[in-house]
Structures are given as structure tokens and as C-alpha cells.
A and B are shown apart, each in its own frame.
Chain A
Amino acid sequence: MSELTATLPAVAAGSQAPSLKQQLARAERIRKLKYAALILPLALFLLLSFLWPIAALLLRSVDNPEVIAALPQTSALLRGWDGQTLPDETTFNALARDLAAVSGTPPLAAAARRLNMEQLGFRTLMMKTARAVPLAEGVGARHALVEVDERWGEVATWHFLARNASPWTARHLLAALDRTYDEQGRVVKTDEEQAIYIDVFKRTFGMALVVTLCCLMLGFPLAYLMATLPVRTANVMMIFVLLPFWTSILVRVAAWIVLLQSEGLVNQALRGLGLIDQPLQLVFNSTGVYIAMVHILLPFMILPLYSVMKGISPLYMRAALSLGCPPFRSFWKVYFPQSLPGVGAGCLLVFILCMGYYITPALLGSPSEQMASYFVAFYTNQTINWGMAAALSTILFIATLLLYMVYARLIGNQDAAARAR
């Protein structure tokens, strides 16, 4: 019994104080938390200077505050409207009161401008009606408003207003995909002459694809040669790759203008060789954009290719050759599959970067080969249409994000494989 009582306090003490294992685990957790705290300042900084602006821009593509701000009562009532027949007298009254309240103020102007963007003539309708309110006592609001403009007697007008009486709209995003609402609020294709954005995105992806393929065709042989040559020679060649990579993009754009202009070195050389009689138009059209883009993005292809190819042992190729496989077949069956991670990483990187390019097409291209970025800038600088700028950005952003996720996964797998080795 005395033995038992003697051990009891010890057991009790053991259950209170954590074991050594627990203490270690706790210390380890705290240590890891401390390291996580090191990331915090950067995370906060990026939140403020990068993530928040991007999120605000993306939200802007569906943002629709103007109508609700100018016509709060009407908006609230229209949300409960059945949409079959004209709204009831209360809604007409609310519209008259709302308009009377904002008549001659900036919110009315903003709402009128916003609605006019979608339906021409709506600004006049709003302004005209705002001048006619407040309505005289004892007159039916519906009657009075239809007297002011008969459009208030049409269901379509109210459908249009009801559709815009929501804080969110898909209008800009639909417009960026060449879609629009018809009078009944159904999604339909935009008129032929206004439908340009699908073509813009097609052109953007098409150009990115062509540039990526050109970079692969030029970069693969070079990276392959560098990986097979002695390190010393490869390092010298690497400087030739890195120097243009480090040279300012604007310097390179200026240099390409010098080279490709009609009296430039390229045309002089071609004429000297007797290949052409007339100087070729090489710049300020798609040729110039392609040449400069391939030049700017080629290092982004060569660097990942080279780093993967340097890790491929030459023994596999030798084994294939010694087993009697013809050289090209062994290259294709043995070497090329091993270089695929580099090909994938390089292609994705070049494609992603090319998709968002702005300066090169803006300086070297003509208006007909501008890419999505150009239109984002256009709507921001020239027409100050934030909705469209944001909608085009959103689509470009989503495309970039999806490709980046594939890229991150690919790189992550490569890192995991490298660690496993």
C-alpha cells in the first residue's frame, strides 16, 4: 500500500507535465510558426500592392453600381416584378420619386451614361423624364410618365431597367466574348460589325502558339548542342543567350526597328544577295512583331530546356546506338522523351508570357495585329470604359492562371523527381 501511494504522486505529476516527446513536438511547432511568421510581411505587402488591385479589377468586370445608386426604390420594386405586364402604379411612382430626388445630380448622369452605353437613346429618356418630375398631385404616375415618353409604356423598357437594377452584371464579360442581351434579356451573339473580341483572343492565342513553336524550333537544337558540348564552350554560348536576355526590351525593340526598316541591314543584306529587288516590309506589321517576340522569349525557352538536358545522361543514347538503333530513331525514342519536362516548361512559360505582351505589338505592330493587352490599355486610356477593360483583363487573367497552374504542377513534379534522385 505504501508503495502504491509513493508512486501515485509521480504518476499524477507525469500526467500534468508534458512528456519530453510532447515538449519537443511543441517546440518544433513553435519553431515552424516562427518561420511562417517570416513570410507574413511579404504576404501583407503583396496583398496591398498586388492582390488587392487585381481583385478590385476583376470585380470591376461584374460591378454595376450606377442604376441602384440613382434609382434605389425603383430597383428594389423591380426585383419583385413578374416581368409579364407593365409594372404597377407603385413602381411608376417610385421611379418618379427617385428621378425627382437625383434630378440634376452626378448619380443621375452616371446612371444615364451607363444605360446609354447599352441602349442608345436612354440618356435622353432619363433626362427628359427627370425634367418632368416631380409629377403634379392627383395624376396617375403611369399615365403621366407615358405622357412624357411613350417608351415608359413598353414592357421592354422596364425589362432593360430591371436587368440593370442589380448590383452585378455579366454584360461586360458577355461583351468580351461577343455576346449581348436582347430585348427579352436572352444572351445572343453581338452584331457582326461589333463582334471583335473573339477574334482578338483567337489572335492572341494564335500568336502565342506560333511564337512558342518558333522558340521551340530554334531553342531545342541550341539547348541540345549546349548540353552535349564541354561545359567551357557551353558557358560561352550561354553568355550569348543571357546578354540579350538582360538587355532592355525597349533597346531590343529599337534595334529591331533599325534592323528591319526598309533601308535596314536585313533588307540591305537580302538585296545584296540578290534575293529581292524591292525592300520587304518587315516592321510595323505582323512579321516584325513575330521576329521581335521570338527574340525576346527565346531565352525563356532555352534556359529550362538546357537545365533539363544537362541532367540527361548520354549513356542512354549510347546504349540505344550500341544496341543497333539508328541515330535519329534513338534520338526520338530515347533522348527526346527525357527532354519533355523541359519542353513542357519552356513552352508553357513562353506561351504565358507571350499572351500578355503589350510593348512589342504596340511598338512594332500595326493596329490589325494587336492582342488582348492592347485592348485592355485602350479601354483604360482612351475611352475610360473600366467595365470592358476589366472584363477583357478577367478573361486574359483566367487563361493565364489556368496555364500557370499546369506550369506550377509540372515544375513541382520536376522538383519532386529531382529530390527523389
Chain B
Amino acid sequence: MLASYASPLERAWYYGLRILCGLVLLFLMLPVLVIAPLSFNADSFLLYPMSGFSLQWYEEIFASPTWRQAFLNSCIVSPCATLLAVLLGTPAAVGLARADFPGKALLTAILISPMVVPVVIVGVATYLVFAPIGLAGSYLGLIMVHAALGVPFVITTVTATLQGFDFNLVRAAASLGANPLTASFRITLPLVAPGVISGGLFAFGISFDEVVVTLFLAGPEQSTLPRQMFAGIRENISPAIAAVATIMTILSTLMLVTLEWLRRRGERLRDSPS
């Protein structure tokens, strides 16, 4: 709070900082806010002021076979990639937290590296290697690479959750006669579940928004929503793009709300006296 005896300079600093931050937040939010209303525009321009309200663009994308196929493809590729990333990433994160061997730091860095290698390189490289063995232009190839891109996020979130995890609980379960599998499912998994779910949501977000690898690796039959949007923006940007964008924004908002809910729940569980 600003004290009543603050000097003019301090006042200027206090309000200046808040105005600047308000502008930064506006800058961050403006694109998200501006696109949704235009998807209800009555004419075919992406311009304000809008000429009238209409649902024609939603009708258009739901009627269009290309958009339907793209949506379907996204609904095939992203969940599969997420599942793969979670199934492989969660045990690996547990292993990394518990195992101790020379070169562990290096291995961790390598497992995280899909996050930082430029996606163009990943796209070109996987196309180069997958094309001769028939994995380019296939769902399997696309799912594999999308999963690889999502794995680092699963590892980092699960590792973060495991840092507050008491491994004595697993020992206690074992001493009470639980075999390792039972202990994993009854003790470890429920406790790290929020981390696993947020990791999965991150992986899903990455895959659902992935366009560069898809551009190189997917054939026309595997075109996903982002790829279709990429083509749309490039060729002819119309309110139909805004309609798809609105649907995608609603999806990402839902994911964000779920994540935030998980995070708060995790914090509550950690803070509550045990």
C-alpha cells in the first residue's frame, strides 16, 4: 500500500508501475479477447465494427469436410500422443527421482531436450528418417513425434510433484506386505496424480497446438486443426478462422481452469496438517 506520507517520486513510481503492468496485461489479453466476437460477424471481413450477429461461420466450419476431418485428426493424434507421453514419462520421472547412476544429469538433460530443440529441426529430421520406413504421412509417426515433444512437460511436472513426496510411504507399504505394483498404484500414483494430470494436460496442449512437425510429417489425410488453420491464415483469412480460433480458445481455457484447480488442490493438500 502507498503510505500517505509518500513523496511525489514514490507516488509516480507506485502509479507508473501499475499503469505499465496494466498495459502489459492488456497487451497479453487483447489478442485473446479480440478474435472471439469476430467469429459471429455477419459479413466476411475480420474488421471492427461488426456489421451484425450471425452463426454462419460456425455452420460453415461444421459443414466443411476438411475442417471436420482436421478436428477428427486432432482428436485422434493429441489424446494418443498424450497417453503415450504420460505412460512413458511418469515412470521415467519416478526413476529419475529415485535412481542414482553416473550420467544421470546428462540423461535428464537429454530426456528434456525435445522441449528446446527448434521444432523445424525435429520436423525435418523425423521426415528424413520416417519417410523411407513408411512412418511419414501416417498417424503412428505423427503420434510418436508429438508424444516425444510432450514428454519433457510430463517429466518436469511429475518431478516437481515428487519433490514433496515422502518415499517412506512406499517403504511403509512394502513393510506392510504390499508388493511393488500394489504400492505404486495404491500409494505413489494417487499422490502424484495431480502432477501426472497437469503433465498430461501440458502434453495435450503441446500436441493440440503443434503445427510445424505436422506440416512436414503429416500427409493430407492427417491434417490437424492447427495445420488447417495455418493453411487458412496463409491463403484466405476469414471469420471461419476466427470461429475455429474461438473453439480452440475455449478448449485452452478449460485446460487452464483444470490445471489451476489441480494446482490449488495440490497446495491445499500440502499445506493441510497431516
List residues of A whose CB falls within 8 A of some B CB: 32-39, 41-43, 45-46, 48-54, 56-57, 60, 218-219, 221-222, 224-225, 237, 239-244, 246-259, 261, 263-265, 268, 295, 298-299, 327, 352-353, 355-359, 363, 373, 376-377, 380-381, 386, 389-390, 393, 396-397, 400, 404-405, 407-408, 412
Contacts and interface: CB of A to CB of B under 8 A. Distances in A.
Contacts of B55: none
Contacts of B118: 355-358, 373, 396-397, 400
A50 B252 contact: no
Given A248-B248, A250-B211, A255-B32, A57 B113 contact: no
Contact of B98 (A32, A50, A255, A353): A32
Contacts of B31: 244, 247, 251-252, 255-256, 259, 295
> Among the interface residues B92, B101, B121, B249, which one has the most CB atoms of the partner chain A within 10 A?
B121
A51 B30 CA distance: 39
- Please list the 8 inter-chain residue pairs (A to B) with the smallest Cβ-Cβ separation, ordered nearest first: A356-B118, A38-B95, A255-B31, A57-B125, A35-B99, A53-B125, A42-B92, A251-B245
Contacts of A299: 28
A42 B48 CA distance: 49
B29 A254 contact: no
A225 B17 contact: yes
A363 B215 CA distance: 14
B72 interface: no
Interface of B: 9-10, 13, 17-18, 20-21, 24-25, 27-32, 34-35, 38, 46-48, 84, 88-89, 91-92, 94-96, 98-101, 105, 107, 109-114, 116-130, 144-145, 147-148, 151, 180, 205, 208-209, 211-212, 215-216, 226, 229-230, 233-234, 237, 241-242, 245, 248-249, 252-253, 255-256, 260
A355 B127 CA distance: 21
A243 B32 contact: yes
A184 B88 CA distance: 53
Nearest to A397: B121
Given A35-B99, A404-B113, A244 B28 contact: yes
A258 B94 contact: no
Nearest to B252: A246
9 contacts: A32-B99, A43-B92, A45-B148, A219-B24, A225-B21, A239-B256, A247-B249, A359-B230, A405-B109
B253 A52 contact: no
B27 A295 contact: yes
Contacts of B128: 53, 56-57, 60, 386
A356 B122 CA distance: 11
Nearest to B146: A49
A419 to B, nearest CB: 9
Contact of A396 (B121, B127, B209, B212): B121
Nearest to B127: A380
Contacts of A241: 25, 28
A242 B256 CA distance: 8
Given A252-B31, A295-B28, A363-B234, A38 B109 contact: no
A283 B60 CA distance: 27
Contacts of A49: 126, 144-145, 147-148
B25 A240 contact: yes
Nearest to B92: A42
B121 A57 contact: yes
Nearest to A326: B9
Contacts of B101: 32, 36
Nearest to B180: A34
B38 A258 contact: yes
A393 B100 CA distance: 34
B120 A358 contact: yes
B41 to A, nearest CB: 11
A251 B119 contact: no
B202 to A, nearest CB: 10
A231 B97 CA distance: 30
A415 B246 CA distance: 39
A312 to B, nearest CB: 16
A373 B125 CA distance: 13
B235 to A, nearest CB: 11
A225 B18 contact: yes
A255 B229 CA distance: 12
A256 B119 CA distance: 22
B248 A50 contact: no
